[in-house]
């Protein structure tokens, strides 16, 4: 079973995808802009600005993720656009949380000031959404494409992972 998990930054995509892959013993595919920035020896935020100027980075990232997922019989693909890009996913999960909650999580993880993280989160949402719409015609706020939508605001990652795992087991039964 191929499982695609998407959501905006700070929703818990990486943590939840990791927990689900570990619990099901499925390979985790979580190749992100952070990975590309590291490969290119660039600061993450500088890389994001570069990606705003050229669609090649989004296309490279998305193509590589789908190729990695399609090379697996079973996997968990965690990315911003996984539910749209991996058309062959057997389960498409979208994680949500308010901008304030997501910024709070990023602040706890990366430091800085909350106000700075909230401004970055909101700007990243705006920029990401505009890019996805321009490149692919995808509205990454439209959750209708998902099989399962989970608001992570009041749940810890283990609770979210358990919801997804229960759905997987139901579908495999």
Eight-state DSSP code of residue 68: H
Q: How far apart are CA 11 and CA 78, in angstroms?
A: 11
- Find how far residue 115's CA is from the centre of its chain: 23
Residue 14 labeled ligand binder: yes
Cβ atoms within 10 Å, residue 128:
20
Residue 9 is labelled as binding a ligand: yes
Task: Please indicate if the annotation marks 75 as binding a ligand.
Answer: no
Closest CA to 104 of 94, 96, 112, 114: 114
Say whether 113 counts as a known binding-site residue. no
Helix segments in 72-113, DSSP class H: 82-85, 99-110
The verdict on whether residue 11 carries a ligand-binding annotation is yes
Bridging pattern class, strands 75-78 and 2-7: parallel
Please tell me whether 18 is known to bind a ligand: no
What's the CA gap between 45 and 120, in Å, rounded?
Answer: 10
12 is in an annotated binding site: yes
Binding residue ranges: 7-15
- Binding site per annotation, positions for ATP: 7-15
């Amino acid at each position: 079973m191929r499982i695609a998990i998407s959501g905006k930054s700070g929703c818990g995509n990486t943590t939840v995808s990791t927990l689900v892959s570990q619990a099901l013993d499925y390979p985790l595919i979580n190749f992100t802009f952070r990975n590309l920035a590291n490969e290119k020896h660039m600061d993450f935020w500088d890389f994001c600005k570069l990606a705003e100027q050229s669609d090649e980075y989004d296309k490279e990232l998305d193509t590589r993720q789908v190729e990695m997922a399609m090379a697996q019989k079973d996997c968990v693909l965690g990315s911003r656009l996984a539910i749209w890009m991996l058309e062959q996913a057997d389960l498409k999960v979208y994680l949500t949380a308010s901008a304030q909650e997501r910024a709070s999580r990023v602040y706890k993880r990366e430091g800085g000031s909350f106000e700075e993280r909230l401004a970055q989160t909101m700007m990243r949402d705006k920029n990401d959404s505009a890019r996805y719409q321009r490149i692919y015609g995808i509205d990454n706020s439209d959750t209708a494409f998902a099989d399962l939508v989970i608001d992570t605001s009041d749940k810890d990652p283990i609770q979210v992972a358990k919801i997804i795992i229960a759905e997987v087991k139901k579908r495999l039964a």
